């Protein structure tokens, strides 16, 4: 890290309160970095998309050519 990079970091909105104004930040160890990346990866893997509809539900179309029409859900495909 050189003085120009430190200036940019220190003057980024919201960062100053985290790293402090007078001291330079301490680099993460490889272990700390790996733990953070692993935690983020695990959280992303567990994220599931909730589908609020089931087959047989009656829905009101809000957009497109069929706007304002009601229809019945005949198939739920999470990939689509």
Per-residue pLDDT of the chain (80 residues; tens, 9 = 90+): 788 888 887 788 876 666 555 666 777 889 999 999 999 888 776 656 778 889 999 999 999 999 999 999 999 887 77
Q: What does the alpha-carbon distance between residue 71 and residue 58 come to, in Å, rounded to a whole number?
A: 6
d(CA 42, CA 72): 36
Domain ranges in the chain are 3-46
What is the C-alpha to C-alpha distance for residues 55 and 15, in angstroms, rounded to an integer? 48
Long-range contacts formed by 51-59: CB under 8 A, 24+ apart: 51/76, 51/78
């Amino acid at each position: 890290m050189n003085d120009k990079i430190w200036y940019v970091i220190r003057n980024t909105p919201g960062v100053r309160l985290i790293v402090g104004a007078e001291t330079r930040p301490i680099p993460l160890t490889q272990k700390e970095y790996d733990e953070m990346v692993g935690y983020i990866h695990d959280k992303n893997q567990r994220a599931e998309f909730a589908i609020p509809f089931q087959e047989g539900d009656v829905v009101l179309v809000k957009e497109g050519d069929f706007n304002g029409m009601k229809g019945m859900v005949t198939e739920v495909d999470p990939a689509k």
